[in-house]
Amino acid sequence: MRTAHPVETVRAAEAELMALLPDGALMRRAAAGLAAACCSLLGKGRVYGSRVVLLVGSGDNGGDALYAGARLARRGAGVTAVLLGGRAHGAGLAALRAAGGRVTEDPYEALAAADLVLDGITGIGGRGGLRPEAVPVARAARGSDAVVVAVDLPSGVDADTGEVDGEALRADATVTFGAYKPGLLVDPAREYAGALRLVDIGLGPYLPAIPGLEALQHQDVARLLPEPGAESDKYRRGVVGVYAGSDRYRGAAVLAVAGALRGGAGAVRYLGRVGDMVVRAHPEVLVHTGPWDAAGRVQAWVAGPGIGEGSDPETAMGHVLAADVPVLVDADGLRHVTPGAVRERSAPTLLTPHAGEAAALLGTDRAAVEAGRLAAVRALAARYGATVLLKGSTTLVCGPGGTGPVRVNPTGTPWLATAGSGDVLSGLAGSLLAAGLDPVDAASCAAYLHGLAARRAAGAGGPITASGVADALPAAWRDIREP
Ligand SMILES: NC(=O)C1=CN([C@@H]2O[C@H](COP(=O)(O)OP(=O)(O)OC[C@H]3O[C@@H](n4cnc5c(N)ncnc54)[C@H](OP(=O)(O)O)[C@@H]3O)[C@@H](O)[C@H]2O)[C@@H](O)CC1
Ligand SMILES: Nc1ncnc2c1ncn2[C@@H]1O[C@H](COP(=O)(O)OP(=O)(O)O)[C@@H](O)[C@H]1O
Ligand SMILES: [K+]
């Protein structure tokens, strides 16, 4: 599991460790790791003679850049510092000068010739976006041919929330110290960070066991995915009920069922208006057309994709929410849930909104949700007392209450932004619920598999369809099982 810790936690861990070490030892560790990462980014044999520009702010983030710059200068790089704050880390500046580095008043001339730029303007002490004097310099760095490496964080992003208030520096890579910060894993900040590298400075034993954010990796998902045993039968593997589709949105039912069939449940039962079409597309589905209470055994429900509005869907959602089994509510189904109704349920509920639906549930606008995804997913989980999976460029999952660690999905591709792919995801997550995973695991494993399947479907990069994502799910599952 990859974990991220908020700034307050990182600072507390640093303080504990620093008390045991000689002055400046942590910063030297950080700078040594940073310089090593820069050497590998420049390439073997390319450090000597390379041109490195340091963008140096007024705090310790600038100190890291200066010490790393001194190391690179000692290996033969031409290192130039641009001082952007009113002051600069004194010992770091002295180290750079002693190693042969220099300070320039003309950042643009230095940047035009740079092979590597180190962004040490702000790290975890930064507040708000870049200040006006840093904006043209950051743009010139981005516009140059140099590799841009952010020190600890891209300057201008919020380390804890992933929000970007104003302008921030766009890096090709970020070398972060001691622990990932939540903002490095959550859009919009994540996009500014580029490839991530973590430098171990010995903070591990001083960090709490429960992180602010966590990202599943292959082996975590492999451990959680259900696998049939010798004694399995279709009912023991779980039956997932799907209530989806309408005369207007028929495909939503087919796609949700396609996801459900590939999620490890033993059987899929369909209720809704388009059973004929569903069974034509998926003959293995059990279609029920009678009253709700005669639907038969179901271990988890997926309800909402393409059901539309009106009294019929409202009544049906009432039946689903009354069931004493886990329920996933997606898409149109989200119009029919209230915090009170969800809180009163006897079994867990999983809500899977995209940013627009989340905004409607929170009474805000879509842009606000997209700018503050972490806050939005926590607020929804707290308000509904439910697990929430917030879809989009970064998919987040938060357990009921909103206070525990948030799971961030590390797989996926922007090619997933295609109609119907969310329906496949809801079927898949519902199937994992029926197979017995708890809602946070079901949601995060589903997002992981869905993202991998999308990458497989997209190959080297190219348009994909929701059906293509569903078709790629078994191969993604195998990739996880047998890496
Ligand atoms: N602690 C440790 O042991 C270790 C820490 N390490 C390193 O230290 C970093 C944290 O250092 P830090 O605390 O000095 O904060 P930092 O991010 O440099 O910013 C400080 C100053 O920037 C300014 N400023 C604020 N906002 C701004 C803005 N938008 N745009 C421009 N300027 C802005 C503001 O100063 P002001 O100009 O307001 O006086 C503020 O005081 C951390 O990220 C890691 O790199 C590593 O070496 C490992 C060991
Ligand atoms: N920019 C993006 N990058 C990665 N994944 C995305 C992006 N935009 C959307 N997605 C994913 O695509 C799916 C779209 O789901 P949804 O919005 O419900 O669409 P639909 O209702 O058409 O099925 C979700 O899994 C979401 O996380
Ligand atoms: K930085």
8 A C-beta contact, residue 144 and residue 127: no
Q: Is 128 in the pocket of ligand 1 (CB under 6 A)?
A: yes
Note the CATH architecture for domain 218-481. 3-Layer(aba) Sandwich (3.40)
8 A C-beta contact, residue 416 and residue 451: yes
Confidence of residue 78 (pLDDT cuts 50, 70, 90): very high
Q: What is the dihedral of CA 411, 412, 413, 415, to 10 degrees?
A: 160
Please indicate whether the domains covering 2-213 and 218-481 agree at the CATH topology level.
no
pLDDT at site 41: 96
Size (the chain), residues: 483
pLDDT at 483 over 70: no
Q: Residue 401 is encoded by which pair of tokens? A: 């209450």
Cα of 310 vs centre of ligand 2, distance in Å, is 25
Q: Is 26 in the pocket of ligand 2 (CB under 6 A)?
A: no
The number of the ligand nearest the C-alpha atom of 244 reads 2
Domain residue limits, the chain: 2-213, 218-481
pLDDT at 335 over 70: yes
Note the CATH architecture for domain 2-213. 3-Layer(aba) Sandwich (3.40)
d(CA 464, CA 462) in angstroms, rounded, equals 6
First and final C-alpha spacing in the chain? 16
**Average pLDDT, rounded, for the chain:** 96
Cα of 416 vs centre of ligand 2, distance in Å, is 5
**Which segments are annotated as binding site for K(+)?**
61, 119, 155
pLDDT at site 161: 97
Per DSSP, what are the bridge partners of residue 176?
A: 198
Confidence of residue 460 (pLDDT cuts 50, 70, 90): confident
Q: Is 421 in the pocket of ligand 2 (CB under 6 A)?
A: yes
**CA diameter of the chain:** 84
Confidence of residue 230 (pLDDT cuts 50, 70, 90): confident
8 A C-beta contact, residue 416 and residue 448: no
pLDDT at site 185: 97
Does the structure's ipTM exceed the value 0.85?
A: yes
What is the position in ligand 2's atom list of the atom closest to the CA of 305? 21
Q: Is 444 in the pocket of ligand 1 (CB under 6 A)?
A: no
Q: Is 301 in the pocket of ligand 1 (CB under 6 A)?
A: no
Confidence of residue 476 (pLDDT cuts 50, 70, 90): very high
Cα of 176 vs centre of ligand 3, distance in Å, is 9
d(CA 393, CA 376) in angstroms, rounded, equals 14
Name the closest-CA residue to atom 36, ligand 1: 58
Cα of 49 vs centre of ligand 3, distance in Å, is 24
The number of the ligand nearest the C-alpha atom of 396 reads 2
Cα of 392 vs centre of ligand 2, distance in Å, is 5
The model's pLDDT over 170-194, given as tens digits with 9 standing for 90+, comes to: 999 999 999 999 999 999 999 999 9
Q: Is 303 in the pocket of ligand 2 (CB under 6 A)?
A: no
Q: Is 412 in the pocket of ligand 2 (CB under 6 A)?
A: yes
Mark 180-219 as b/e (b = at least 16 C-beta within 10 Å): bbbbbbbbbbbbbbbebbbbebebeebbeeebbbbbbeee
Q: Is 377 in the pocket of ligand 2 (CB under 6 A)?
A: no
Nearest-10 crossing angle of helices 439-458, 421-434: 140
Cα of 59 vs centre of ligand 1, distance in Å, is 4
**Which segments are annotated as binding site?**
60-64, 119, 123-129, 152, 155, 252, 306, 354, 391-395, 422-423
Q: Residue 456 is encoded by which pair of tokens? A: 């497989």
Name the closest-CA residue to atom 39, ligand 1: 58
Smallest CA-to-CA distance from 225 within 238, 242, 244, 210 is with: 238
**Which segments are annotated as binding site for (6S)-NADPHX?**
60-64, 123-129, 152, 252, 306, 354, 423
Q: Residue 480 is encoded by which pair of tokens? A: 């996880």
pLDDT at site 293: 87
pLDDT at site 327: 98
Q: Is 417 in the pocket of ligand 2 (CB under 6 A)?
A: yes
Mean local confidence (pLDDT), 417-431: 97
**Which segments are annotated as binding site for AMP?**
391-395, 422
Cross-sheet strand order for the sheet of 147-151: 102-103, 78-83, 51-56, 116-120, 147-151, 173-177, 195-199
Confidence of residue 232 (pLDDT cuts 50, 70, 90): confident
d(CA 383, CA 370) in angstroms, rounded, equals 18
Mean local confidence (pLDDT), 99-114: 97
The number of the ligand nearest the C-alpha atom of 176 reads 1
Percent of the chain with pLDDT over 90: 94
* Whether the predicted model's global pTM rises above the 0.80 cut: yes
